[in-house]
Amino acid sequence: MTRLVWFRNDLRVHDNPALAFARRDNEAPVVAVVFVPEQQWRQHGLGERRINLNKAAICALQDSLSALNIPLLIAPGESFRDNLGYLQELLTQFEFSEINFNIEYELNERQRDRQLVIWCRDRHITANRFHDQCLLPPGEVLTGDAQMYKVFTPFRKAWLSQMSNLCPPPCAAPAVQKKAVVPQAILDFWQQHSQPPAHTEDDLWAADEDSGHEQLAEFLDRDVLYYQEQRDLPDLDATSRLSFYLALGLLSPRQCLYSAWQKNQCMLSGGETGIDTWISELIWREFYRHLIVAWPELCKHRAFRPETEDVPWRDSDSDFARWCAGETGYPIVDAAMKQLLDQGWMHNRLRMISAMFLTKHLLIDWRRGEAFFNQHLVDADFAANNGGWQWSASTGADGAPYFRIFNPTTQSEKFDPQGNFLVRYLPSLMKLPAKSRHNPAPEQRNGCGYPQPMVEHKAARERALDAFRQTSERKAG
């Protein structure tokens, strides 16, 4: 009786609970399957760069599994529905005794998995599900009233308390499987039907497990110690840039947390400030995952705070297009958007500034910005992206209060004082003195060919405050 492992957003062989469980002993052969559901990825709004990287990561996984003598079937199937049908055929045709997979928390994915589990139950096939994206599974960090936290800080406190300052070690890659244990019929089918997807090398992101481990080790060796002071300075590249590896499951959060915990003298908090702060960021990631499970409406594009559904968002395609292209006339916003378009990644401080600019200064619906980020980020991750956008738009759990609206110019002066980051993406501002780069005078802009600001900060701020104030008054009335 052969065991099947279904890979999804967990494209790694180390610390993969589903794979480790399938290879728990040598009693039964193990084979694996993964889909390349391009149509579904596009329907979920992923962009071409990320889709290409997903494909590259799947091919890298095939190599890693092959070194363990575990055949991977890279199966056709454009959509979740196709995938389910295909899996059911495989399970029946080859009489698999069990299927193992790691849980995805988004609503469509959970519905798909539920269908499969019920189907398996009716046929006495064991479906084993594992949590690999969160150290504490959603639903296990609750208030005294057994509710999910709506605010991060008490969630973090409860999370840390439940972890008792300990971190479980990641599990190793499974032992190499003996050759020739897999039934010939399965091997033949796997060989005939596997379709490794064509992809191109990305000049910035290496979509394989080893690169993720190298980057983690490098970050923990040095930058993490300065993380608290430097993480908000986009010019320094002082954050880990591991979000890409986490989003594709090339690295697990447990691998990150365990390495940080070891470096922090076996503490999750109360150790080095830089490491404690970095660990908190990983807890934010977990918080947003717990939220989408507790409030599945978030997966249907609903605001966490229902009253904010009435904010009179402006429907301006031309303003939206200027924001997307990085032509707002606010250098910090424009440089941020150009970083996104160039690298497929944006610094966290800049994500907040540019998201707040779209939703407050331009009063454009956060859902449009969320979709644009999702399309261009290589680390696009539904829970973190939705959480970040709703935080910035003041529509979310523990969002910024609506009256706290970042002034892009002062943010720029504070976090990029010399304008070094600005000129990396807006080289025409190089000829200006550092202090003028944040908000050049009209004639300086003309001299550099840089646009005039598309809105005036004070007026735009007042417009946003009015819109939100009216919405909250309506709720109160």
Using the contact rule CB under 6 A, the part of the chain among 77-85, 169-177, 267-275, 371-379 near ligand FAD is 371-379
Residue 361 contacts ligand FAD per CB under 6 A: no
DSSP β-ladder status, 72-75 and 30-35 = parallel
Residues of span 286-305 touching ligand FAD by CB under 6 A: 288
Q: Which is nearer to ligand FAD, 29 or 388 (CB)?
A: 388
- Of 67, 64, 99, nearest to 83 by C-alpha is 99
**Beta bridge partner(s), residue 34:** 7, 74
Which amino acid appears at position 174 of this protein?
P
Q: Which is nearer to ligand FAD, 276 or 381 (CB)?
A: 381
Q: Is the dihedral of CA 325, 329, 332, 333 positive or negative?
A: negative
Per CB under 6 A, the list member of 10, 379, 398, 416 interacting with ligand FAD is 379
Residue 381 contacts ligand FAD per CB under 6 A: yes
Which amino acid appears at position 362 of this protein?
L
Which amino acid appears at position 178 of this protein?
K
Q: Are 135 and 290 in contact (CB under 8 A)?
A: no
Q: Cα separation of 277 and 252, whole Å?
A: 18
Per CB under 6 A, the list member of 385, 395, 412, 471 interacting with ligand FAD is 385
Using the contact rule CB under 6 A, the part of the chain among 126-134, 294-302, 381-389, 441-449 near ligand FAD is 381-389
Q: Which is nearer to ligand FAD, 174 or 408 (CB)?
A: 408
Which amino acid appears at position 216 of this protein?
L
Q: Cα separation of 267 and 241, whole Å?
A: 23
Q: Which residues are catalytic?
A: 281, 284, 313, 348, 366, 389
Query: Which one-letter DSSP state was computed for residue 142?
Result: B
**Beta bridge partner(s), residue 4:** 31, 99
Residues of span 223-252 touching ligand FAD by CB under 6 A: 231, 239-243, 246-247
Q: Are 101 and 133 in contact (CB under 8 A)?
A: no
Q: Are 424 and 336 in contact (CB under 8 A)?
A: no
Residue 281 contacts ligand FAD per CB under 6 A: yes
Query: Least distance to ligand FAD from the beta carbon of 21, Å?
Result: 25
Using the contact rule CB under 6 A, the part of the chain among 47-55, 303-311, 345-353, 449-457 near ligand FAD is 345-353
Q: Which is nearer to ligand FAD, 74 or 298 (CB)?
A: 298
Q: Which is nearer to ligand FAD, 61 or 233 (CB)?
A: 233
Task: Tell me, by CB under 6 A, how many residues bind ligand FAD.
Answer: 28
Q: Cα separation of 74 and 100, whole Å?
A: 16
- Of 106, 159, 150, 369, nearest to 281 by C-alpha is 159
Q: Cα separation of 432 and 81, whole Å?
A: 56
Closest residue to bound ligand FAD by CB:
388
Q: Are 409 and 457 in contact (CB under 8 A)?
A: yes
Residue 390 contacts ligand FAD per CB under 6 A: no
What 3-state class would DSSP assign to 14?
A: coil
Query: Least distance to ligand FAD from the beta carbon of 366, Å?
Result: 8
Using the contact rule CB under 6 A, the part of the chain among 37-45, 102-110, 183-191, 344-352 near ligand FAD is 344-352
Residue 30 contacts ligand FAD per CB under 6 A: no
Residue 380 contacts ligand FAD per CB under 6 A: yes
Residue 389 contacts ligand FAD per CB under 6 A: yes
Residue 335 contacts ligand FAD per CB under 6 A: no
Residue 284 contacts ligand FAD per CB under 6 A: yes
Residue 98 contacts ligand FAD per CB under 6 A: no
**Backbone dihedral angles phi then psi of residue 129, each to the nearest 5 degrees:** -115, 145
Residue 10 contacts ligand FAD per CB under 6 A: no
Query: Least distance to ligand FAD from the beta carbon of 334, Å?
Result: 16
Q: Are 177 and 219 in contact (CB under 8 A)?
A: no
- Of 293, 299, 295, nearest to 134 by C-alpha is 293
Per CB under 6 A, the list member of 8, 285, 361, 437 interacting with ligand FAD is 285
Report the half-sphere exposure of 292 (CA within 13 A, side-chain side): 26
Residues that bind ligand FAD (CB under 6 A): 231, 239-243, 246-247, 281-282, 284-285, 288, 348, 351-352, 355, 373, 377, 379-381, 384-385, 387-389, 392
